[in-house]
């Protein structure tokens, strides 16, 4: 079990260098925010199109299959499971339909001393719209199952599954093709207009850099603890629920202690090297400069929003 390879969430892919790596970090931040905002109040077709766009973007960048196969597979499996559960779940609309005119049974039991109301002939439906897509009932003892899928449950399933996939995978793809230093440099440059308001822009960028660098350390500590538990060959069946819970609480406590120790070591190393103020000890990792392909990607972003406004619709 190698978490650093099987779960590359928040990690930067150094090799191979794809065309997504060469795009400016500020442009990728704009694209990421657009992909996260565009599904809001969008139609179902628009949300599915955004998911397909992310998949095609990954294929066009020629990211190695070993990197994105497992995480995209898990996300697709999660989306399918959520879609299936929401399809068969109640849609939240409980409407008891009642006919406007008397039925045949009501007319048969109508009193003789009263005038029988006039009934309208049965008319075929004007359109082929059906609120109930599937309505099957399986009555077999001892189970009595009913599969009821409606238009609303279908819309809810598509909305939730596509939103989860877009939120997780768009962020993962951004972190996979952008170095942490580029992310902090780009965000710091975008937040420069907020500096006159007293916002500590440089401190925020430095904190974000340390947080992104800390993600691999967390995965490494979790991996080491899991390996230590596996090498001891613990028989979980004999421990029971209470014994297993105690062991996992001890592992969680040890994980927190190791992470706090790592954080203290990083702080001590920075303090010894004189990094007491980010304004005085500024290190420029990358030179931000928009090239011709960055402007081309920005033009693509304009086309993306034009398509979203014109054809995205409103849910």
Q: Is residue 240 part of a domain?
A: yes
How far apart are alpha carbons 227 and 219 in whole angstroms?
12
Residue 301's alpha-carbon distances to 33, 34, 59, 183, 310, in angstroms, are 11, 8, 19, 19, 14
Residue 89's alpha-carbon distances to 7, 115, 131, 164, in angstroms, are 31, 45, 15, 18
Residues 18 and 29 in one domain: yes
Confidence band of 53 (pLDDT split at 50, 70, 90): very high
Residues 243 and 139 in one domain: no
Q: Quick one: pLDDT at residue 91?
A: 67
Residues 225 and 158 in one domain: no
Q: Is residue 272 part of a domain?
A: yes
Domain that holds residue 280: 202-285
Residues 211 and 163 in one domain: no
Residues 87 and 211 in one domain: no
Q: How many CA atoms lie within 13 A of 135 on its CB side?
A: 6
Q: Is residue 196 part of a domain?
A: no
Helix (H, G, I), strand (E, B) or coil at 141: coil
274-300, pLDDT tens digit by residue? Answer: 676 655 555 555 667 788 888 998 999
Residues 215 and 84 in one domain: no
How far apart are alpha carbons 177 and 22 in whole angstroms?
9
Helix axis angle for 151-176 and 25-37, nearest 10°, is 170
Residues 14 and 69 in one domain: yes
Largest CA distance in the chain: 103
Q: Is residue 11 part of a domain?
A: yes
Q: What phi and psi, each to the nearest 5 degrees, are found at residue 303? A: -65, -35
158-176, pLDDT tens digit by residue? Answer: 888 888 888 888 888 888 8
What does the pLDDT average to over 31-41? 90
Residues 265 and 296 in one domain: no
Higher pLDDT, 9 or 171: 171
172-221, pLDDT tens digit by residue? Answer: 888 888 887 788 888 888 888 888 888 888 778 777 777 777 877 887 88
Q: Quick one: pLDDT at residue 1?
A: 46
Q: Is residue 256 part of a domain?
A: yes
Residue 250 has pLDDT above 80, yes or no: yes
Residues 217 and 73 in one domain: no
62-85, pLDDT tens digit by residue? Answer: 888 777 776 677 777 888 888 888
How far apart are alpha carbons 45 and 42 in whole angstroms?
8
Confidence band of 31 (pLDDT split at 50, 70, 90): very high
Q: Is residue 184 part of a domain?
A: no
Residues 228 and 258 in one domain: yes
Q: Quick one: pLDDT at residue 65?
A: 78
């Amino acid at each position: 079990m190698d978490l650093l390879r099987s779960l590359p969430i928040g990690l930067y892919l150094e090799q191979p260098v794809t065309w997504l790596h060469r795009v400016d970090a500020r442009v990728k931040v704009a694209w990421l925010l657009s992909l996260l905002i565009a599904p809001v109040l969008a139609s179902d077709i628009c949300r599915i199109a955004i998911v397909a766009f992310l998949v095609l973007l990954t294929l066009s960048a020629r990211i190695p299959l070993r990197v994105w196969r497992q995480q995209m597979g898990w996300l697709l499996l999660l989306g399918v499971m959520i879609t299936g559960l929401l399809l068969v779940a109640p849609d939240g609309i409980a409407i008891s339909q009642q006919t406007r005119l008397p039925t045949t049974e009501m007319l048969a039991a109508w009193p003789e001393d009263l005038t029988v109301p006039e009934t309208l002939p049965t008319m075929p439906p004007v359109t082929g719209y059906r609120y109930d897509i599937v309505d099957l009932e399986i009555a077999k003892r001892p189970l009595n199952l009913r599969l009821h899928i409606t238009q609303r449950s279908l819309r809810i399933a598509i909305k939730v599954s596509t939103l989860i996939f877009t939120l997780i995978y768009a962020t993962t793809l951004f972190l996979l093709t952008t170095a942490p230093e580029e992310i902090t440099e780009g965000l710091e440059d975008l937040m420069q207009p907020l500096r006159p308001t007293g916002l500590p822009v440089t401190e925020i960028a430095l904190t974000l850099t340390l947080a992104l660098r800390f993600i691999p350390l967390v995965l490494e500590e979790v991996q080491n603890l899991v390996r230590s538990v596996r090498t001891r060959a613990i028989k979980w069946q004999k421990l029971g629920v209470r014994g297993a819970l105690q062991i996992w609480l001890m592992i969680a406590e040890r994980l927190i202690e190791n992470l706090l120790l790592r954080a203290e070591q990083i702080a001590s190393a920075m303090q010894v090297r004189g990094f007491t103020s980010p304004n005085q000890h500024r290190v420029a990792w990358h030179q931000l400069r928009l090239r011709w392909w960055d402007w081309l990607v920005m033009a693509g972003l304009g086309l993306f929003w034009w398509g979203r406004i014109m054809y995205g619709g409103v849910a």
